[in-house]
């Protein structure tokens, strides 16, 4: 995948979307779409992205819970606390 550095504004928007509350209608797809964005900028790894994909049709399914259940380690899970990539 060709990766381009997005603007800080776009990162901010996608961060909000990634942390859309579990349970909101359509939130699984919203989180997965945002996870793909962060995969492209290197802040979400492929295993984490896959868990977001698995949860994408289940709005009540928290990818973090699934990761714990499946024993998948989530590097950079809390993107809120990581440094933003320079644009």
* Binders of other proteins in range 40-79 (CB under 8 A): 40, 46, 49-50, 53, 56-57
Q: The tokens of 3 are what? A: 């990766």
Looking at the Cβ atoms of 57 and 60, the one nearer to other proteins is 57
* Residue 4: half-sphere exposure toward Cβ, Cα within 13 Å: 3
Selected from 2, 9, 21, 83, the binder of other proteins by CB under 8 A is 2
What gap in Å lies between CA 77 and CA 87, rounded to an integer?
21
Q: Which helix (H) or strand (E) holds 13?
A: helix 8-18
Question: Minimal distance in Å, beta carbon 20 to other proteins?
Answer: 9
Q: Residue 82 has what DSSP assignment?
A: S
Binding site for other proteins (CB under 8 A): 1-2, 14, 17, 26, 29-30, 32-34, 36-37, 39-40, 46, 49-50, 53, 56-57
């Amino acid at each position: 995948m060709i990766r381009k550095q997005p603007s800080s504004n776009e990162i901010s928007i996608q961060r909000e979307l990634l942390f859309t509350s579990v349970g909101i209608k359509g939130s699984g797809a919203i989180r997965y779409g945002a996870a793909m964005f962060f995969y492209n900028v290197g802040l979400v790894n492929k295993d984490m992205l896959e868990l977001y994909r698995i949860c994408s049709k289940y709005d009540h399914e928290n990818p973090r819970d699934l990761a714990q259940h499946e024993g998948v380690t989530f590097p950079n899970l809390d993107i809120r606390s990581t440094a933003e990539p320079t644009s």
